[in-house]
Amino acid sequence: MQFKNGRFTVSGVDLLNLTEEYGAPLYVYDANKMKQQYERIHRAFSGVKRLRINYACKALTNLNVLRLFRQLGSGLDTVSMQEVELGLMAGFDPHDILFTPNCVSLEEVNEAVTKGVRINIDNISILEQFGDQHRGVPVCIRLNPHIMAGGNSKISVGHIDSKFGISIHQVPHVLKVVNALDLKVEGLHMHTGSDILDAQVFLQAVEILLRAAGDFPDLDYLDFGSGFKVPYKEGGIATDIEDLGQQLSERFNEFCAGYGRELELMFEPGKFLVSEAGTFLVRTNVVKTTPATVFAGVDSGLNHFIRPMFYDAYHHITNISNPQGKPRIYTVVGYICETDTFGINRQLGEVREGDILAMANAGAYCFMMASNYNSRYRPAEVMILDGKVHLIRRRETMQDLLGTQVEVPELVEPVQA
Ligand SMILES: *Cc1c(COP(=O)(O)O)cnc(C)c1O
């Protein structure tokens, strides 16, 4: 989002015009920003010969976003069969899709095998059954290095109590299974969780994975997951991707030289690629002064944008209708009938009823976590590609809400005229 001549724009498109045309609330995505982030990570790791970025699509699975990443040359990291299917629909080659589920049934893993996608297995029980049924099918193993690199405890997945991955301490057991079933382990994977605060801690986890990799002779790739942090406020901490790129590339190349083969280095960023590209626009319904607070109540809520309530996430809020207005302090709340706060004590240009507020970093895990709670419709999404606006999801209607409901005839009474 840029501010110029009193207007807020994305790639030259005026955001206020968008709410006039498509209504509010509205998700707006800047395709060029996604592209820039993809290219940035590529540049950061340009020191390795084989690099693959698999977009972790659970962050935002709109088909147009998937197609954009496919055109950029990205692969896809998926966590459900539905994501696999969306990826195939978007034109990804099955070989460019990695299936990294957690606690799914063997049936779901088998289904992924029939689709021809790469399989990442994160527990020994499934590994045994998989190996038994699919002799010769190459597999990736998700290891848990037990390094606490993530931010919020809900998104840090590498620690000792985590349900993710096979403990690094169980590698001897894994090797027994691999040898007994003659499994071809083509990849090792780790994902320490979102919001890496300290690159050094991440590199420690890398060391642990590299040590384990020496025990697997058939490797073709090493997947170091993601968790790259993007800034959520001005001057906010972010993963220094260029610095990490330099240090890790050097270490990776050194490892490959020792291993005797040029392995592919993989990452699977979600947030890094799409978070900053998204802006969520809401309209102020009421400004309500209570003895303690001035509330700006908007036409959305945790049903559309749950990260502030769920993760205590900070999302920067701007009054784009009155940017030059006198700065005042507001608590921005939604219309859901329970505590539903977007931001507490934020300084905004004076908010008037009808003003449009913009929430930043709304590309990752925002629309995807939207629900129909309070029986509200989920918002529309638009994408700006090279300065052109495209509606990529229409707002829902009552028909969408009723689409899956099945009526019991005995309960249907004739409506009184
Ligand atoms: C969610 C997830 C990611 C993406 O994490 P970000 O913090 O959005 O980059 C990557 N890999 C796996 C296995 C995931 O579950």
CATH superfamily label, 45-269: Alanine racemase (3.20.20.10)
Of 69, 77, 272, 361, best ligand 1 pocket probe by most atoms within 8 Å of the beta carbon: 77
- Sign, CA dihedral 83-69-158-249, equals positive
**Of 209, 215, 200, residue with least CA distance to 265:** 209
Q: At 139, list the tokens.
A: 């597999």
Q: Is 311 within any annotated ligand binding site?
A: yes
Q: Which CATH number fits domain 2-28+275-402: 2.40.37.10, 3.40.50.10490, 3.40.50.300, 3.20.20.150?
A: 2.40.37.10
User: Does residue 370 have its Cβ closer than 6 Å to ligand 1?
Assistant: no
275-317 pLDDT per residue, tens = 999 999 999 999 999 999 999 999 999 999 999 999 999 999 9
Say if residue 75's pLDDT is above 90. yes
Looking at the DSSP assignment, which residues form a beta bridge with residue 13?
Answer: 10
Atom of ligand 1 nearest to the CA of 100: 13
What pLDDT is attached to residue 237? 81
Whether the per-residue pLDDT at 46 is higher than 60: the answer is: yes
Domain boundaries, given as residue ranges, for the chain? 2-28+275-402, 45-269
| Per-residue confidence (pLDDT) for residue 376, from 0 to 100 | 98
pLDDT digits (tens, 9 = 90+) for 173-212: 999 999 999 999 999 999 976 566 778 888 999 999 999 9
Give the pLDDT of residue 6.
Answer: 87
Q: Answer yes or no: is 338 a known binding residue.
A: yes
Distances (CA, A) of 377 to 176, 280, 308: 51, 15, 20
Average pLDDT over the chain, rounded to an integer: 94
Q: So what's the pLDDT on residue 413?
A: 86
- How many Å apart are CA 280 and CA 24, to the nearest integer? 9
Give the position, in ligand 1's atom list, of the atom nearest the Cα of 268: 10
For range 366-391, the mean pLDDT: 97
Contacts 24+ apart (CB under 8 A), 104-109: 104/80, 106/130, 106/133, 108/80, 108/81
Distance of alpha carbon 337 from alpha carbon 374, whole angstroms: 8
| 140 counts as catalytic | no
Half-sphere exposure of 230 (CA within 13 A, CB side): 25
Confidence of residue 162 (pLDDT cuts 50, 70, 90): confident
| Structure tokens belonging to residue 274 | 């799409």
**DSSP secondary structure string, 7-32?**
EEEETTEEHHHHHHHH-SSEEEEEHH
Q: Quick check: 169 and 208 in contact, CB under 8 A?
A: no
Angle at 369 between CA 364 and CA 372, to 5 degrees: 145
In testing the pocket of ligand 1, which one of 77, 79, 226 has its CB within 8 Å of the most ligand atoms? 226
**pLDDT value, residue 157:** 60
Average pLDDT estimate for 75-91 = 98
* Atom of ligand 1 lying closest to residue 365 CA: 8
* CA–CA distances in Å: residue 253 to residues 186, 210, 322: 18, 11, 52
Could you tell me the strand order of the sheet in which 2-4 lies? 2-4, 7-10, 13-14
- Report the distance separating Cα 360 and Cα 277, nearest Å: 9
Q: Does residue 239's CB lie within 6 angstroms of at least one atom of ligand 1?
A: no
Tell me the per-residue pLDDT of 95-147, one tens digit each, with 9 for 90 and over. 999 999 999 999 999 999 999 999 999 999 999 999 999 988 999 999 999 88
220, amino acid identity: D
**Confidence check: pLDDT of 329 > 90:** yes
If DSSP codes are grouped into helix, strand and coil, which group holds residue 132? helix
193 alpha carbon to ligand 1 midpoint, in Å? Answer: 7
